[in-house]
Amino acid sequence: MDFQDILAADADRAIMLAHVPVAHRAAIAALWRLDLRGAEIVRSTTESMIGRMRLTWWYEALGKLDGAQPPAEPLLEEVATALVASGVSGAALGEAMIGWEALLDPLPLDEAALGAFAAERGAGLFRLAAGVLGDGTDAVAAAGQGWALVDAARHLSDAETRARALAMAQPALAEALAARWPRPLRPLGLLARFAEDDRRAGGSAAAPGSPRRMLRAIGFRLAGR
């Protein structure tokens, strides 16, 4: 399967995919593509109401996958085949997608909006990925929250919101990285490790996909922390 679209959009997640077992790679790739669609909706929205309507359409369409065939939309078809058919809840996928809605609020975003985004998009996405990878740990939700907050800080234009997101990410990432990650979940833990490196650097420690990131990935895969 070709992951060039994911590499172009987020090289860190492409590195993560390289560490996912082949049997689970298509499902995790579908999950990332769905999340990147949410990011694209937020990025391209000039009117908040229109953005909310588009996210609501996806929320409802994903929920319907639990009991019906997908409409003729390529990403929904991929999600249905790679995720829902293997037991992932379409409704849960919709909850993670609707988490993007918090970023459509006027800037600067307050703690409530960023917290909702981190919990719904970040923790929700990581729990779904952990289910695909076949393992679980208490660190998964915290890792997802911290990763989502740092990811938001990388892309938001408002300095106050960026600073708030990075500050909120600190306790979540500290919890996520306090212990060694189990081997099946190390691809997810790696994203939390990247996020913590970036948080400490004020937003970006190294370019996504850089040799420094690759070395960090190898070390995390071996040690789990």
String of DSSP letters for 29-80: HHHHHHHHHHHHHHHH-SSHHHHHHHHHHHHHHHHHTTTS---S-HHHHHHH
| pLDDT attached to residue 208 | 67
Q: Which residues contact 8 (CB under 8 A, 6 or more apart)?
A: none
Give the closest residue to 90 by CA, choosing from 68, 112, 111. Answer: 68
| pLDDT attached to residue 221 | 87
Backbone angles phi, psi at 95, to 5 degrees: -65, -40
What is the distance between the alpha carbons of residues 146 and 177, in angstroms, rounded to a whole number? Answer: 10
103 token code pair = 């970023």
| pLDDT attached to residue 8 | 85
Give the closest residue to 195 by CA, choosing from 157, 146, 155, 141. Answer: 146
| pLDDT attached to residue 136 | 77
Q: What single-letter amino acid sits at 12? A: D
Q: What angle do CA 34, 58, 10 make, to 5 degrees?
A: 20
If you count them, how many residues does the chain have? 225
| pLDDT attached to residue 142 | 98
Give the residue extent of every domain in the chain.
4-223
Q: What single-letter amino acid sits at 167? A: A
| pLDDT attached to residue 30 | 97
Long-range own/partner contacts, residues 37-45 (CB < 8 A, 24 or more apart)? 37/75, 37/97, 38/96, 38/97, 38/99, 38/100, 38/121, 39/9, 39/100, 39/155, 41/100, 42/100, 42/103, 42/104, 43/155, 45/104
What is the distance between the alpha carbons of residues 149 and 113, in angstroms, rounded to a whole number? Answer: 11
What is the distance between the alpha carbons of residues 106 and 197, in angstroms, rounded to a whole number? Answer: 28
**Tell me: domain 4-223, CATH 2.140.10.10, correct?**
no
What is the distance between the alpha carbons of residues 93 and 78, in angstroms, rounded to a whole number? Answer: 13
8 Å CB contact between 17 and 25? yes
pTM of the model: 0.94
pLDDT tens per residue across all 225 residues of the chain: 568 898 888 889 999 999 999 999 999 999 999 999 999 999 999 999 999 999 999 999 999 999 999 999 999 999 999 999 989 999 999 999 999 999 999 999 999 999 999 999 999 999 999 999 987 778 999 999 999 999 999 999 999 999 999 999 999 999 999 999 999 999 999 999 999 999 998 877 667 667 888 888 888 888 888
